[in-house]
Chains A and B, each alone.
Chain A
Amino acid sequence: MSIRNLAIFAFGIVALGGVSGCRKNAGTVKADPLLAAYDSEPDWTDSTKMLPLGYQQAQGKRVFYQYCVWCHADATPAGPSNRSNLTPVPPLLNDGAALNTESDEFMQNIITLGGSAMGKSAMMPPYGRTLSAEEIRSVIAFTRAIAQPPYQPPGRPGSQYSAK
């Protein structure tokens, strides 16, 4: 066998080994975002659009539809909303213009302590003894998820790093 043939053969093996060593399996399925979400909620301003919700946001949705929907939505599971009975009119939960500027801390406080404690309407009752702090956090997470215009978290610059 000539050296040349031997060399070609050897390089072939090396190349084969190298290629198989570099095999990548990163081709994970590009899933439907709703399939990768725990739950979803229609965009209140466009019911054809579904917004994906994570676990915490989904728990917030559940708490919202039990406790908050009566005054903070236009339609309720039992029919008409109670909003029109109230002055000042409570904001819709997806009202980004009104709620995006409020900090998570403020939201946590007004739900926990009620409107009068935070200098707002006494018609907003305190829920700190009814809901757990975790449940209240989840409602805020849900609020942020459905906000229109969309909510941008303050502060922390997004990391430019990507895994691969």
Chain B
Amino acid sequence: MPAEEMGKVTDRMRFGLAVSSLLFVAVLAISPFKDYRREWKQYKRAYLRFAQTRPDTKRLTADYSPDIDQIWIPGMNVVDRCTTCHQGITQASLADNSAPQPFRAHPPIPHNVREWGCTICHRGQGPATEVAEAHESTLAWEQPALPTHFMQASCGTCHQSDLSETPQLVKGRQLLAALYCVGCHKLQGLERPAMLGPDLSSIGTKVSREWIYKWLKEPRTMVDKDGNVTVNGYETEEEPRMPKFRLSEDELKALSGYLSVQKAKSLAAYNISPAVVRSWSKNPELISQGELRFRQMFCSTCHSLAVTRAGETKLIGGNIGPELTKVGSKVNPDWLIAWLRDPEAYLPHTRMPRYGWSDEDLYKVTQYITTKLVDSDLLTSVPKLDPPTDQEVQLGRRLFTEKGCASCHAIEGISPQKDFGPGLSALGAKNASELEFGTAKIPHNLLSYIQAKLQDPVSVNPAARMPQYNWEPGDLDAVTTALLSMKGAPPTSALQNLVVPRKEASFQPTGSFAEVYERYKCYACHKFNGYGGDLAPDLTYEGSRAQRRWLVEFLKSPQTLRPTLILRMPQFNMSDKDATTLADYLSMVLEHPEVNPATIDTRQFTPAMATLGKQLYEVKYQCQSCHTIGGTGGYVGPNLSNAGGWLTPAWIEAWLENPQALVADTIEPHRNFTDEEIKALTAYLMTLKTGINAQKTAGISRGRPLAPGAGR
């Protein structure tokens, strides 16, 4: 360029500068444009346009601001900007599906969403302002939003006591306890019970080495070619507690050998009186009589049997004790007799009650079990096993600890390894980066990890020691929910104050009642002050409800009050003394504070009152739709044919006044009876008396025996 032209601005340069300045301005303008186009701002404007289409525009936009909205709850780690886009969450008029997301109102829940924020329940990233960052797990954010199906996990993080609103969580917690997960894992809110799996100290006196081998290889569970889970070939709803361990042939031989020599307590064989054996052994009725006795004693309340009806085989009976269809091929007959006579002598902490057996019953029932409840093919797939060598026993002993058997089963001389599996009390708070996914092709988030690990432990970690469980789909999701709920101790004191702790119930009776109570294991089925099983009625207020005389009769010869039930109080063959001890304690100690049977004088009930009561019962209130008297009526509530011989008038009056005040979740509707009507109905019910007669059962299907919370 010549020197004279230096400093001279040519048109060409001018033009160039102009263009580049314009471009520069344009580039600068990108920033506000990008800002204008930000995702959350688009939702903000969309909400305004949407509100215009609704009749209540003014209310919908009353607290609108064009900026980021935020719910900030100091002390609870909540900084939720979700309402920036989800602007209608508290607008009642946006509740139905005609309102598009993200503007739809939050469905009504027990918590105010403005007070609690969103991420406490939904997880996800509260501070994020983009859809993906808020809801999904990205590289920088590790908590994806929880699918609604598992939302109950969030309830459980604070509500450690069970809520009726969260059935899936409650079920999951029950499964964690029932499957003995605490054997190996520390779990929030779950204490290790006194007994997990059976004590194996004397297992060698009970079953053969072959049976142990088969059990270890396939613990009852088999999956047939259609993928149905079967127990000994029968379809079942119950999952056996013993999971399947992946054991090699040598390990199976060693463990079965080791267990078969466990005979800490030698078997004290009981000899049934030779006279009984002589008179019955040749009797062709022996087996059918044994079966009849087995049924009459209601063993089926706790134990199930496979029954074939109309070509369909299914398990019928309870699940408190093991399923017994093939138990005759499992146990040693001498062991069976000794066990039935005194279960605790073999297994401390068992829930099997000690029945009062006559030699005759004992002979008949054990003959029935060892003759009829058998399967000659049960052990055909098991190789021939000789008495174990020392080497096998040594290896078996080592495996017993290494495989984690000792975590659930006791054997003399072996103490359980502490914290055999990893603690899971804070599993629900883990970030994806803290988890091992191995080569598993699953989304890298906590939910997928938990489900994969539960379904197939080696899929995420080939070296996993965790055994194999077979899950029903609902059960898998329930357990996942319960595990997700365990987020460890809350990080801040404000959150700690929110935790609703689990109530520990206990009932520790004393004296002669305690001995009888423990012998018959009343708590296996009944609840006392919140402690015990829920198969049978809660007896906390039984002294207020039932007449003492009736209690004695019932205990000696239990008959159901609900004709459709198939699970019933077993026939314990109780002595007069035992029945009186129990009835006395129930009447004197287990009373409702407000319902005192002694305060009502039955002489006040006149025949005229009873006539009016009958009319009210049959016409005005039509109680017969749920209750049976004589042969007619419904079977939702208890049979009232013997109400006068069973219930105390004080209880009937209090019950009619307000049933839920006595049994919180009973289904009996709380009616608005007048005092006169209550007296009349009580007078009528007190006239209903029969002896306690056997009532026919209707229905054979299996199911929960009681309407939940039903009064009786």
A residues lining the B interface (CB < 8 Å): 3, 6-7, 10-11, 13-14, 17-18, 20-22, 24-29, 31, 34-39, 54-56, 59, 62, 66-67, 70-71, 75-80, 82, 85-86, 121-123, 125-127, 129-130, 134, 153, 156-164
**With A10-B23, A54-B107 in contact, do A66 and B703 touch (Cβ < 8 Å)?**
no
The secondary structure that dominates the B interface is loop
Nearest opposing residue in chain B for A40, CB measure: B149
**Does B108 lie at the interface of the complex (its beta carbon under 8 Å from any beta carbon of A)?**
yes
User: Considering the chains assembled together, what is the distance between the CA atoms of A59 and B665 in angstroms?
Assistant: 15
In the bound complex, residues from chain B placing their C-beta under 8 Å from that of A153 are 96
User: Considering the chains assembled together, what is the distance between the CA atoms of A6 and B630 in angstroms?
Assistant: 102
Are the C-beta atoms of A21 and B46 separated by less than 8 Å? no
Pick the interface stretch among B26-34, B229-237, B376-384, B679-687.
B26-34
User: Considering the chains assembled together, what is the distance between the CA atoms of A37 and B168 in angstroms?
Assistant: 12
The secondary structure that dominates the A interface is loop
**How many interface contacts (CB-CB < 8 Å) are there between A and B?**
179
Are the C-beta atoms of B108 and A56 separated by less than 8 Å? yes
Nearest opposing residue in chain B for A77, CB measure: B704
User: Considering the chains assembled together, what is the distance between the CA atoms of A100 and B660 in angstroms?
Assistant: 32
User: Considering the chains assembled together, what is the distance between the CA atoms of A13 and B565 in angstroms?
Assistant: 79
Are the C-beta atoms of A38 and B667 separated by less than 8 Å? no
User: Considering the chains assembled together, what is the distance between the CA atoms of A105 and B97 in angstroms?
Assistant: 20
**With A70-B636, A86-B634 in contact, do A18 and B130 touch (Cβ < 8 Å)?**
no
User: Considering the chains assembled together, what is the distance between the CA atoms of A119 and B136 in angstroms?
Assistant: 54
Given A85-B633, A163-B103, 5 more A-B residue pairs with CB atoms under 8 Å apart are A26-B131, A77-B708, A78-B707, A123-B622, A163-B102
Are the C-beta atoms of A14 and B15 separated by less than 8 Å? no
Are the C-beta atoms of A82 and B30 separated by less than 8 Å? no
User: Considering the chains assembled together, what is the distance between the CA atoms of A86 and B100 in angstroms?
Assistant: 44
Contacting residue for A38 out of B16, B23, B148, CB 8 A: B148
Pick the interface stretch among B75-83, B289-297, B490-498, B668-676.
B668-676
Are the C-beta atoms of B98 and A66 separated by less than 8 Å? no
- State how many angstroms separate the Cβ of B657 from the closest Cβ of chain A: 11
The 10 A-B pairs of least Cβ separation, nearest first, read: A21-B34, A17-B30, A10-B23, A123-B625, A129-B670, A79-B699, A125-B669, A25-B132, A70-B636, A35-B147
In the bound complex, residues from chain A placing their C-beta under 8 Å from that of B34 are 17, 20-21
Are the C-beta atoms of B99 and A159 separated by less than 8 Å? yes
B residues lining the A interface (CB < 8 Å): 15-16, 19-20, 23, 26-27, 30, 33-34, 37, 39, 42-43, 46, 49-50, 53-54, 96-103, 107-109, 130-133, 135-136, 147-149, 151-152, 164-165, 167-168, 562, 564-566, 619-622, 625-626, 633-636, 659-660, 665, 667-672, 698-709
Contacting residue for B147 out of A17, A31, A156, CB 8 A: A31
Nearest opposing residue in chain A for B24, CB measure: A10
Are the C-beta atoms of A59 and B165 separated by less than 8 Å? yes
Nearest opposing residue in chain A for B99, CB measure: A159
User: Considering the chains assembled together, what is the distance between the CA atoms of A75 and B704 in angstroms?
Assistant: 12
User: Considering the chains assembled together, what is the distance between the CA atoms of A48 and B158 in angstroms?
Assistant: 35
User: Considering the chains assembled together, what is the distance between the CA atoms of A121 and B635 in angstroms?
Assistant: 18
Are the C-beta atoms of A125 and B135 separated by less than 8 Å? no
Are the C-beta atoms of B96 and A6 separated by less than 8 Å? no
Contacting residue for B96 out of A3, A156, A164, CB 8 A: A156
In the bound complex, residues from chain A placing their C-beta under 8 Å from that of B42 are 164
Are the C-beta atoms of B100 and A78 separated by less than 8 Å? no
**With A62-B164, A66-B665 in contact, do A21 and B147 touch (Cβ < 8 Å)?**
no
In the bound complex, residues from chain B placing their C-beta under 8 Å from that of A71 are 625-626, 634, 636
Contacting residue for B707 out of A14, A27, A62, A70, CB 8 A: A70
